[in-house]
Chains A and B, each alone.
Chain A
Amino acid sequence: MKVLLVGNPNVGKSAIFSQLTGVKVTTSNYPGTTVAFTRGFMTYQGRRVEIIDVPGTYHLEPENEAEKVAVDMIAKGDVLINVVDATNLERNLNLTLQLMEFGKPMVIALNLWDEAQHKGIEIDIEKLKEVLKIPVVATNGLTGEGLVQLSKECMKARAVYWPKLNSERRWAKIGEIVSQVQNLTHRRHTFMERIQDLSIHPILGLPLAAISLIVIFKFIISAGEILVSFMEKVFQLVYSPIILWLSDVLKANDLIHYLLIGEVTGGIIEYEEAMGMLTTGVFVAFGLVLPYIILFYLVLGFLEDLGYIPRVAIMFDRFLHNIGLHGYSIVPMLLACGCNVPGILAIRNLETRRERFITAIVTSITIPCMAQTALIIRAVGTRGEVYIGLVFTTLLTVWLLLGIILKKTVGGNTPTLLIEVPPYRLPSLKVQFKKLKMRLSLFLNEAIPYVLGGILFINFLNISGFIKILGDLSAPVIKGVFGLPEETVSTLIIGIVRKDAAVALLEPIGLNDYEMVRAVIILILYFPCVATFTVLLKELGIMDTVKAVGIMFLTTMIVGGLLNLLLGTVFNPAGMIIAEIITILFLIFLDSNTNKSLFEDEMV
Chain B
Amino acid sequence: MTQKIRISLAEMKNDQEGKVVFIIGGRGMKTRLEALGIRRGVKILKLSSFLGGGPVVVSVGTGEVAIGYGMSRNIIVEVEMDESSFSG
Contacts and interface: CB of A to CB of B under 8 A. Distances in A.
- Do A and B form a real pair? yes
Nearest to B32: A418
A321 B61 contact: no
B62 A88 contact: yes
A472 interface: no
B24 A417 contact: no
B53 A202 contact: no
Contact of B28 (A310, A420, A603): A603
A197 B14 CA distance: 12
A119 B24 CA distance: 33
A91 interface: yes
Interface stretch (A57-65, A436-444, A475-483): A57-65
B33 A418 contact: yes
B36 interface: yes
Contacts of A255: none
A604 B61 contact: no
A422 B45 CA distance: 16
Interface in A413-454: 415-421, 423
A317 B55 CA distance: 7
Interface string A304-326: 00000010011101100100001
B16 interface: no
A257 to B, nearest CB: 60
A171 interface: yes
Contact of A318 (B33, B34, B47, B54): B54
B39 interface: yes
A202 B37 contact: no
B70 A602 contact: yes
B88 interface: no
Contacts of A421: 57, 63-66
A58 B68 contact: no
Interface in B25-83: 25-26, 28-29, 31-37, 39, 47-55, 57, 61-71, 73-74
Interface in A75-119: 87-91, 94-95, 119
Nearest to B50: A202
B62 A90 contact: yes
A604 B68 CA distance: 11
Interface in B11-31: 14, 24-26, 28-29, 31
A167 interface: yes
Contact of B36 (A91, A121, A602): A91
Contacts of B36: 58, 91, 418, 420
Contact of B61 (A61, A88, A197, A603): A88
B63 A202 contact: no
A417 B58 CA distance: 13
B63 A598 contact: no
A58 B32 contact: yes
B50 to A, nearest CB: 5
A184 interface: yes
Contact of B67 (A184, A202, A417, A423): A417
A58 B35 CA distance: 6
Interface residues of A, number: 44
Contacts of B67: 416-418
Nearest to B26: A604
B71 to A, nearest CB: 4
Nearest to B48: A202
B58 to A, nearest CB: 9
Q: Which of B26, B35, B47, B54 has the most CB of A within 10 A?
A: B35
Nearest to A602: B70
Contacts of B74: 604
B53 A604 contact: no
Main secondary structure of the interface of A (DSSP, over half): mixed
Nearest to B61: A90
Contacts of A8: 35
B39 to A, nearest CB: 6
Interface in A398-418: 415-418
Given A201-B48, A420-B36, A91 B63 contact: yes
A171 B63 contact: no
Given A59-B31, A94-B34, A417-B67, A121 B62 contact: yes
Q: Which of B25, B39, B47, B57 has the most CB of A within 10 A?
A: B57
A314 B48 CA distance: 11
A327 interface: yes
A143 interface: no
A167 B31 contact: yes
Contacts of A219: none
A87 B50 contact: no
A599 interface: yes
A119 B25 CA distance: 34
A420 B67 CA distance: 9
B73 to A, nearest CB: 8
B55 A327 contact: yes
Q: Which of A91, A95, A119, A420 has the most CB of B within 10 A?
A: A91
Contacts of A598: 53
Interface in A140-172: 167, 171
B69 A599 contact: yes
Contacts of B35: 8, 58-59, 91, 94-95
Closest 8 CB pairs of A and B: A416-B68, A58-B35, A599-B70, A417-B68, A602-B70, A318-B54, A416-B71, A421-B64
Interface of A: 8, 58-59, 61, 63, 87-91, 94-95, 119, 121, 167, 171, 184, 197, 200-202, 310, 313-315, 317-318, 321, 326-327, 415-421, 423, 592, 598-599, 602-604
Given A87-B62, A321-B53, A415-B68, 9 more contacts: A314-B50, A314-B54, A318-B52, A327-B55, A419-B66, A420-B64, A421-B57, A592-B52, A599-B69
25 contacts: A8-B35, A58-B32, A59-B35, A63-B32, A87-B63, A90-B61, A167-B34, A171-B34, A197-B48, A201-B48, A202-B54, A310-B66, A314-B54, A314-B66, A317-B55, A317-B66, A317-B68, A318-B55, A415-B68, A416-B69, A418-B66, A421-B65, A421-B66, A604-B24, A604-B26
